[in-house]
Chain A
């Protein structure tokens, strides 16, 4: 599969996210759009997972710790065959399996119920250590938001993982520079973020979080030979892919109108 094809897939995912937000009147569209390329790179090129055997004990684990971007995970899982794409239509509907944040085992492929921030890295660390105990060679991928780095529990896990010699764990931070109500770097002193992870003993990297090649490159090397867990600061744009949503934090909560859905799909080359 060439890169153009992968970019087309990312655009399709984005188009679906805009539709799902409208259909279920669900917020967090900007946050969902910003991590699309990370998940597409992971699920099409890096993860050792098989939709036919979603409970294989040797599978790689992927945790979307920023659970508010659940539609991105649902859409990617559906497109990768973990469940029928038609099920996406039930997103947010009463008694359906697909809530605005993922519930435990809601659909095949969802490894953890997230939504409360700061839980995914600790759970992922436990999974990574379990691989060592059970003599398995799977890896654990965790995607966090930059706002999530406000949580103290993130830094508890960041302190512990290198001390335990974990090298099969990678965290990718969707650094879109916004949290719910303010600029991330105005709320807390987040920058310099890569240097923080490096100082905590992680193999730290910085990439353009919308460059599929760069994402695949860094996520393909787990473990990376340093003996350390890996932290990737992925520079992203909130609302990426739709000009009138990009870097506009109103789209943390705003629901697109019908004409905005149409305009977004046109921009994404889908209509």
Chain B
């Protein structure tokens, strides 16, 4: 994902002289091409995310399109107040890009995990929250972000995520993409967990349950049309995210559901529990710790569907 990000912003910067890249001393060699082509529009802001965010707001106030970039917790929660006041309150077109979302950097410990960022950022007025599922969605989301006239948070994984889409699907902020048709259970996945969701759907298919899989890449604004359709058409709708069950996609859908009133489908939420992970281990280990595996998702949904 991060390679797709670096290559796409370089291409976008070639075409749009307003695009400015601010990095929090991260991405060794990743931006070499950007820096070579646009040396006046790349700033290593050091390990100082609060100031980087304020700077981006100042630049946006002057008509530029700045992107702030570093590891997810540091570009979001570390400088949350700068995002809230300088970016959101002023309604400025700053794109905040977090790399290593969720449990991507599991082995670095909980300081580098990010399972609360969606909750924090989606609570901020004017902020859009977009979690691409694969490198193609990263590119499409970036193009959309540059056209978006306000604050936007883009939540990336790390590197080596598989491509889910073959070509380029129609992409719009706030409009979910069906990636696998089905008619019994609907799985709404957001971000890098989508390959696991697809695997869970395959497992359910082997057990005779036909599951639709949706890339619900935008957590805010919610695709209410898709939610209405899914909760009316399916018996179970599940949200899956590499984020806490508190305040993420599952939280957002649950809020919508309460306001919307009784629906045909029931909601099941998969995400991280309300705890820090104190163990070492890689992303797969961390996902297993939180039950974010195809096997567990499929087994849980089978049980739900039978009830």
Contacts and interface: CB of A to CB of B under 8 A. Distances in A.
B127 to A, nearest CB: 15
Given A133-B41, A153-B50, A156-B51, A127 B82 contact: no
A111 B54 contact: no
Interface in B44-65: 45-46, 48, 50-64
Contact of A126 (B55, B81, B89): B55
A157 interface: yes
A133 B16 CA distance: 13
Greatest chain A CB density within 10 A among B58, B61, B82, B90 is at B58
A268 interface: no
A126 B58 contact: yes
Contacts of B63: 57, 130, 134
A258 interface: no
A186 B291 CA distance: 52
A8 interface: no
A126 B46 contact: no
A156 B50 contact: yes
B89 A104 contact: yes
Given A113-B85, A130-B63, A132-B40, A122 B46 contact: no
A125 B89 contact: no
Given A124-B58, A125-B58, A133 B51 contact: no
Contact of B91 (A104, A125, A133, A159): A104
Nearest to B91: A104
B116 interface: no
A152 B62 contact: no
Contacts of B89: 103-104, 113
Nearest to A152: B50
A123 B58 contact: yes
B46 A131 contact: no
A213 to B, nearest CB: 31
Contacts of A51: none
A113 B63 CA distance: 17
B54 A133 contact: no
B62 A160 contact: no
B234 interface: no
Contacts of A116: 81, 85
Interface in A14-73: 57
Contact of B86 (A123, A128, A131): A123
Interface string B68-99: 00000000000001100110011100000000
Contacts of A124: 58
A127 B48 contact: no
Nearest to A122: B54
Given A57-B63, A129-B43, A164-B43, A159 B48 contact: yes
Given A123-B61, A134-B64, 12 more contacts: A112-B90, A122-B51, A122-B57, A125-B58, A126-B58, A127-B58, A129-B55, A130-B59, A133-B64, A153-B54, A156-B48, A157-B51
11 contacts: A103-B89, A122-B53, A122-B82, A123-B61, A126-B59, A126-B61, A126-B66, A128-B58, A157-B51, A157-B55, A160-B45
